[in-house]
Amino acid sequence: MVPLYGIKCAVNLITTHFGDLVAKVCECLLRKGPLTLQATVRFTELTSSQVKNCLLVLIQHNCVQAFVLELSVEHGDAAKANTQYIALFDNIIHRWRFNKFLTIVSQNLDKQCVDLLEALLQHGRLTLKQMSDRAKSTQNEGDDVILDAVQEAVIKLLNAHFIERCPASEPVITNPTKQEVSARKRAAKSAKIFEEQETLEQRVVEAAAPSEALRFLLVAQTEPAADGGKDETNSSIVTPGEKRKRDALESETEYGAADEQVVLWRVNFEEFIRRLRHKACVENVKTRLDDGAVTVLKAMLEATRSTEKKVKTDNSVPLSLNSIYEEVIKSEEGRNITFDRVRAALIQLSCPPFVIAANESYSIDFKKIIELAQNEEVESIVLKRYGRDAYRMFRLLSNSGHLLETDKIADATFVEKKETPKILYKLWKDDYLQMEKLQVTGAKRLSQFLLWKVNKNILREHVLNEMFHAALNLVQRVAFELEPEKEMLNIPRDKLINRQRKVRLLLESSHMKLDDGIMLFHDF
């Protein structure tokens, strides 16, 4: 579920980048959910032409995905289908992180790759020809040289999974029948398995995604043969994966793989968020353990990154000790580490359980690392906002995981019993705690006790909403500081510009740090 202020942030982003009209359509989809074209026209009170153009802009920049929803009909009747549009909230918020994405590419690849990624971030989707034409307009070299350079940059970006083929334009989604839903519930109940409900947005994104054989595949074709057919000697298949993808390319033509000039490419946000997640895990472990343990963790992340199927994976694939050591010595800082030191570092990482050891294999416990980082973030907020006494009480309740009575909290945290209820009420009022009243009937009178606990799932959603609220305030403050009307103040122009620059850098730096917290609670 998208937080209220998350929607407001997304709408503000779209307004800044594309204007009020496009933002109106986007806000309608974010608040109402998936809608047909006719329903969007009705809710926005815009003309059909205006809504179409706005949807095209949002689709071009990967903020909206069209899909065909087939409504299953009972008793063998024909299924009903209609095209709907769904806003991709995560992709909209990723527009905040374009500078972070460019920094990652600049640290791993050359300037040509950075320029190419910047073009894709700016334009949303581009074909290979459009990338080449853009490069020609900024360089004074020959066409063939530029085309080769662009293709080489595209190959590097594909090998790193920084870009991917665009999804299908209108994937087909089928709603399960009542009988299918009931059967799934019975099966899950009988197996006693908790199955997280897959959202419609996740189903649409999954259905639209190209197959793994095509997703990171580039086919470069040169001139045709003399007989008018394809010259196989002048065709090359460049793939970051296995050679078997050649067969998949021939069989799957729905993505236009036969003509690479019309295949659309876009930035693969998933890979960037995965790398930022890994970076956050390393930073969190770095505050607890020594450099040797951090180096081993980095090596394990590097070795298992390509096997992760989704960003929010709980555990990495298991690695043997030999495989880990082999990866460690690939880095400059790892060449000084001995085999025994790697073994000792893995023991360090096992307590707290950042790494799970089983049958001489080791896997990273992403879930544990992220949870610890989230707990620390919330505790730091409580400490800054409510003081040290409140921090001790909150930490006690957070670690206990169950209801505690007021007097017990006071005794455990060494806070005066008169002050304890006041602090707990304040935390409860701001939705950081949950309270339950327990009435006990004694021999002479009725006694009432107040019990307190921390519900981490509800609390994380509350903190995330607060973070989006703070981020929106920062963005609006930056816009206010840069308003043209401020030039009319009785301040020399050079001093005004210098002040605006300092304020903007400060606010944008604060926003980037706040976005790290948003990613921790929403994306990681």
The least confident of 19-28, 482-491, 492-501 is: 482-491
Tell whether the model's pLDDT for residue 261 goes beyond 70.
no
Mean pLDDT value across the chain: 85
Tell whether the model's pLDDT for residue 58 goes beyond 80.
yes
> pLDDT value at position 184?
56
* CB-based contact 367:314 (threshold 8 Å): yes
> pLDDT value at position 164?
96
Give the contacts of 137 (CB within 8 A, at least 6 positions apart): none
CA distances from 429 to 211, 423, 433, 435, 464 (A): 49, 10, 8, 10, 17
Burial class (CB in 10 A: 0-12, 13-18, 19+), 490: exposed
> pLDDT value at position 120?
96
Helix, strand or coil, per DSSP, at residue 437: strand
Mean pLDDT of 299-306: 94
In sequence order, the β-bridge partners of residue 65 are: 86
Mean pLDDT of 418-423: 93
* CB-based contact 200:173 (threshold 8 Å): yes
Between these two residues, 229 and 503, which has the higher pLDDT value? 503
CA distances from 136 to 120, 220, 363 (A): 16, 18, 47
Tell whether the model's pLDDT for residue 234 goes beyond 90.
no
Instruction: Quote the CA–CA distance of 43 and 25 in Å, as a whole number.
Output: 9
Which residue spans within 353-405 are E strands per DSSP? 355-358, 361-364, 404-405
The least confident of 3-7, 125-129, 234-238, 360-364 is: 234-238
Instruction: Quote the CA–CA distance of 86 and 3 in Å, as a whole number.
Output: 17
Mean pLDDT of 389-399: 95
Tell me which residue has tokens 């040797």: 292
* CB-based contact 260:273 (threshold 8 Å): no
> pLDDT value at position 78?
56
Tell me which residue has tokens 């036969």: 258
Tell me which residue has tokens 């790193």: 160
Tell whether the model's pLDDT for residue 243 goes beyond 50.
no
Helix, strand or coil, per DSSP, at residue 323: helix
Tell whether the model's pLDDT for residue 324 goes beyond 70.
yes
> pLDDT value at position 495?
75
Pick from 392, 463, 405: nearest CA to 435: 405
Instruction: Quote the CA–CA distance of 354 and 306 in Å, as a whole number.
Output: 20
Architecture of domain 370-454: Orthogonal Bundle (1.10)
Token reading at 367: 């879930």
Confidence class for position 144, pLDDT limits 50, 70, 90: confident
CATH class given for the domain over 4-87+169-207 = mainly alpha
> pLDDT value at position 80?
66
Between these two residues, 279 and 257, which has the higher pLDDT value? 279
Angle ∠(430,433,434) on CA atoms, nearest 5: 115
Pick from 295, 287, 281, 301: nearest CA to 342: 295
> pLDDT value at position 256?
42
Mean pLDDT of 270-297: 95
Confidence class for position 445, pLDDT limits 50, 70, 90: confident
> pLDDT value at position 489?
55
Question: What are the tens digits of pLDDT across the range 150-203?
Answer: 999 999 999 999 999 999 999 998 876 565 556 555 555 544 444 456 788 999
CATH of domain 271-364: 1.10.10.10
Mean pLDDT of 438-457: 82
Token reading at 288: 């607890």
What does DSSP say about strands 172-174 and 235-238: parallel, antiparallel, or unpaired? unpaired
Q: Where are the domains of the chain?
A: 4-87+169-207, 96-167+211-267, 271-364, 370-454, 470-522
CA distances from 79 to 23, 204, 385 (A): 33, 18, 56
Instruction: Quote the CA–CA distance of 176 and 187 in Å, as a whole number.
Output: 15
Instruction: Quote the CA–CA distance of 364 and 357 in Å, as a whole number.
Output: 9
Confidence class for position 221, pLDDT limits 50, 70, 90: very low
> pLDDT value at position 228?
43
> pLDDT value at position 260?
56
What spatial distance separates the first Cα and last Cα of the chain, rounded to whole Å?
A: 15
Confidence class for position 257, pLDDT limits 50, 70, 90: very low
